[in-house]
Amino acid sequence: MKKVYANATEALDGVISDGMMIAAGGFGLCGIPELLLEAIKDSGAQNLTFASNNAGVDDFGIGILLQTKQVKKMISSYVGENAEFMRQYLSGELELEFNPQGTLAERMRAGGAGIPGFYTKTGVGTVIAEGKEHKDFNGETYILEEGIFADLAIVKAWKADDTGNLIFRKTARNFNVPAATCGKICIAEVEEIVPRGSLDPDAIHLPGIYVHRIIQGEHEKRIEQRTTRKKEEA
């Protein structure tokens, strides 16, 4: 099975369409599938739902799809750093389903494991719990959260071999692994594709069985918030 494609546009060919639910890896701007997001924008696909921790910034990450009004709904934990995200939500142009960060990660992981729902204490007694089933276990109240089953997963990794085995770099692993597993189709963009057999099996973070298509490309690796201090005088 051919998994390596020349570029993001080719990898999305025959996959992307209007109305899809897409699970996207990344946290802030760390480990986001920036090349695939740009290609999704260029595809013109509309009415997309994204399950992602956040939406990047105004001109990078999922933010570029908000600018072009290609996203109808976000399933996210955080809306800061993106003024257009906040503006569209507050004006009613964008649907938003808030999830506690751990709940969002577990919803993705559950979907990847074929689990339709699970109970958690997180969110009990808050707006997060409104309209959800409540159940008591050992005297404690839990709410039912549903697993996320996405049409497409897009992730960013550090290294891959041609079978799709992936290694992520440090904190850039973040949401990428659970996002990858919950998609019917998973496309990964990577910094380097190495020969088959050269990856240490014990170092592989995501087995290739979850990954259907791979691209290699150059990445901007933009810093979301740059914090510096003044140089101390001698």
Residue 232 is predicted with a pLDDT of 77
Asked if residue 105 lies in contact with residue 148, where contact means CB atoms within 8 angstroms, the answer is: no
Asked if residue 152 lies in contact with residue 22, where contact means CB atoms within 8 angstroms, the answer is: yes
1-43 tens-digit pLDDT = 799 999 999 999 999 999 999 999 999 999 999 999 999 999 9
150-197 tens-digit pLDDT = 999 999 999 999 999 999 999 999 999 999 999 999 999 999 999 999
Residue 234 is predicted with a pLDDT of 61
Better pLDDT: 122 or 228: 122
Please give the CATH superfamily to which domain 8-117+147-216 belongs. Glutaconate Coenzyme A-transferase (3.40.1080.10)
Asked if residue 185 lies in contact with residue 14, where contact means CB atoms within 8 angstroms, the answer is: no
Task: Please provide the average confidence, as pLDDT, over all residues in the chain.
Answer: 95
Domain ranges of the chain: 8-117+147-216
80-112 tens-digit pLDDT = 778 899 899 999 999 999 999 999 999 999 999
**Sequence letter at residue 119:** Y
Distances (CA, A) of 66 to 38, 83, 144: 12, 10, 30
Mapped onto helix, strand or coil, the DSSP state of residue 11 is: helix
Cα(174)–Cα(25) distance, rounded to whole angstroms?
A: 7
Mapped onto helix, strand or coil, the DSSP state of residue 67 is: helix
Residue entry with tokens 């993705």: 108
Please name the residues in contact with 233: beta carbons below 8 A apart, sequence gap of 6 or more.
Answer: none
End-to-end, the C-alpha distance of the chain in Å comes to 62
Above 90 in pLDDT, residue 228? no
**Could you tell me which residues are beta bridge partners of residue 140?**
137
b (16+ CB within 10 A) / e for 151-170: bbbbbbbbbbbebbbbbbee
Which residue in 94, 25, 93, 29 sits closest to 58, CA to CA? 29
Mapped onto helix, strand or coil, the DSSP state of residue 24 is: strand
Residue entry with tokens 């088959």: 196
pTM of the model: 0.94
Above 70 in pLDDT, residue 148? yes
Tokens at 93, concatenated: 């142009």
Tokens at 184, concatenated: 């019917």
